[in-house]
Amino acid sequence: MLILSIDIEKSLPEFKLKVAFQLDQEIMAVLGPSGCGKTMTLKCIAGLMVPDQGSIILDERVLFHSEQGVNLPARERKIAFLFQNYALFPHLTVCENIAFGIRQLPLAERDERVQKLLRKMRLHGLGHRYPADLSGGQQQRVALARALAPEPKVLLLDEPFSALDTQVKERLEAELLELQEDFQGHVLFVTHNLAEAYRLSSKMAVYDNGVLLQWGECRSIIERPVNKKVARMTGMDNIFSGIVSKIEGCRLEVQLDTGHLHLYMDYPGGLVVNQEISIAIRPEYIQVADSQEDNCLGAELLSCTEELSFFKCVFRLQDQVQVKVHLAKISEQVLVPGQSYHLRFPPEKLVVIGPHLQNFHVKKGHIKASACI
């Protein structure tokens, strides 16, 4: 099985990293705020830092194993690392930079591969320039070409797009996705940008302060966060606590803590009546209903800000709880702050937050839900 498996621990003064996850030959994003140990993980995988404990196994080859006493030096790991600041060799030309990792190859073969990468990365004509004479995007592509030249098994990217402007960034993202199609290996990239992680990767690992909170398929993390921290980090802004008041077949009725409000949702299983739970919904799933409909709550609009592609509204339920709602611009409704509206919470979009629910099959199908305010 071609799997990159990481299970490591490393302690620094006032910081501890403890993570374990696996990835196939796919793109995985490591998401988290700065200083949470994302880059450290990459450096441990590349062999630039030594974990205190654990193992790193690449396609059945042991790169690091504390118990077996294995620790391959970085130069033997065949892992490419794309640094945030590119880390190009300033005293070498673009060609020489790219050729650095394949200097043991015969000259003709080396030249051929360098030329191929120059073409692929749209760097033709720049081969004899020095890195200082290139733009940020060009430097980024040279760094990528240099990393790919030795045909690595793993590509590690440390915040690859953070220093670039939107246009350059979009093009590079497209290139990365294109690259993935003929790159036979594992790609792990670090970012603090949720949208970027979601767009580019198939799996995600969410970090906070050295701890791996959750990892898995992007969609499952976005839709089924295991705790409130992951929910907040992945933009699931509306989190309510409450208790299970009724379970009817595959319908769950939740009484919110702060008042006598009830919401219905799809029953994910594994719950009992009177259990305390947190439920959450992403701001883009809440609708403003014309009239009192199923699963609606009355709310007063506090503010409405126009964003690039949606309206960002904040509502207040009758028990002072605030609800964030993103409304599509296509809606013709004109919302006036201070007015009262009905907010509809689609039952299938409400989720129960909790680690014990991660493996439950989510029952689909229409459930009739009614509001009871």
Partner 1 sequence: MTAMDLDPLWISLKTALTATAITFILGIFTARWMSQHEFKGKSLLDGIFILPLVLPPTVVGFLLLWLLGRNTWLGSIFFAIGRPVVFSWSATVIAAVVVAFPLMYQTARGAFEQIDTNIEDAARTLGASEQTVFWRITMPIAWPGIAAGTILAFARSLGEFGATLMLAGNIPGRTQTIPVAIYFLVESGKKQQAMIWVLVILLISFFSIAALSFWTKYQRRFSHRPAREVSADS
Q: Furthest-apart CA pair in the chain: how many Å?
A: 77
Query: Please, what is the minimum distance in Å from the beta carbon of residue 86 to partner 1?
Result: 7
| Cβ atoms within 10 Å of 256's Cβ, excluding its own | 19
For residue 314, give both structure tokens: 């904040």
d(CA 4, CA 21): 9
Query: Please, what is the minimum distance in Å from the beta carbon of residue 363 to partner 1?
Result: 47
- By C-beta, is 64 or 267 nearer to partner 1? 64
Is residue 212 within 8 A of residue 205, CB to CB? The reply is yes
- By C-beta, is 19 or 88 nearer to partner 1? 88
Instruction: Give the DSSP letter of residue 93.
Output: -
CB-based burial label for 119 (10 Å; 0-12, 13-18, 19+)? exposed
Query: Please, what is the minimum distance in Å from the beta carbon of residue 87 to partner 1?
Result: 4
- By C-beta, is 17 or 279 nearer to partner 1? 17
Return the closest-CA partner of residue 164 out of 191, 187, 146: 191
Query: Please, what is the minimum distance in Å from the beta carbon of residue 27 to partner 1?
Result: 19
Return the closest-CA partner of residue 86 out of 29, 44, 145: 145
| CA 214 from centre of chain | 10
Q: Which residues pair with 303 in a beta bridge?
A: 314
Query: Please, what is the minimum distance in Å from the beta carbon of residue 42 to partner 1?
Result: 10
- By C-beta, is 77 or 344 nearer to partner 1? 77
Query: Please, what is the minimum distance in Å from the beta carbon of residue 75 to partner 1?
Result: 5
Q: Which helix (H) or strand (E) holds 172?
A: helix 166-182
For residue 363, give both structure tokens: 């029952």
Residues that bind partner 1 (CB under 8 A): 43, 46-48, 73-81, 83-91, 100-101, 104, 122, 130-132, 135-140, 146-147, 149-150, 163-165, 167-168
Query: Please, what is the minimum distance in Å from the beta carbon of residue 151 to partner 1?
Result: 12
Q: Which residue has the tokens 């990459």?
A: 42
d(CA 59, CA 24): 9
- By C-beta, is 178 or 217 nearer to partner 1? 178
- By C-beta, is 133 or 290 nearer to partner 1? 133
Query: Please, what is the minimum distance in Å from the beta carbon of residue 106 to partner 1?
Result: 16
CB-based burial label for 35 (10 Å; 0-12, 13-18, 19+)? exposed
- By C-beta, is 97 or 214 nearer to partner 1? 97
Q: HEC string of 4-35?
A: EEEEEEEEECCEEEEEEEEECCCEEEEECCCC
- By C-beta, is 98 or 271 nearer to partner 1? 98
